[in-house]
Amino acid sequence: MPIIAKHHTLLSTLLITNAVALEALPICIDKIVPSWAAILISAIGVVIVAEIIPMSVCTGPRKLQIASFAGPFIKILMCCLWCLAAPSGKILDWLLGGHVKNRYKKKDLKALIELH
């Protein structure tokens, strides 16, 4: 919950990390293969390794276990990128406002879980 409490900062952290990784990949591969091949390999690799596989794994039945396992790593990323992610999160909070936290009663929560 502490990670999710600052959801715009979390979003900014993940997007900044994603952008850095996506930009660094073709630069590193360019040393090994020609430039056109580096772009092609990185584009295909990113779609498969960074989009399709994580989405299929993280939306499966073990999503909560995966999220709890990744929590400490995400905290480290948030600390490392605080100088970039925190201002971005504050700007998003200011532009979009805070999200309302829904509190469910036990009966409502039980019905919601049964739907899934």
pLDDT in tens, 8-64: 899 999 899 988 888 888 888 988 999 899 989 988 988 888 889 888 888 888 888
User: Which amino acid belongs to residue 55?
Assistant: M
Look at residue 99 in the predicted model and tell me its pLDDT. 66
Look at residue 83 in the predicted model and tell me its pLDDT. 94
pLDDT tier, 101 (very low <50, low <70, confident <90, very high otherwise) = low
Q: What is the DSSP letter of 100?
A: P
pLDDT at 88 over 70: yes
In angstroms, the CA 14 to CA 31 distance is: 27
Mean pLDDT score of the chain: 85
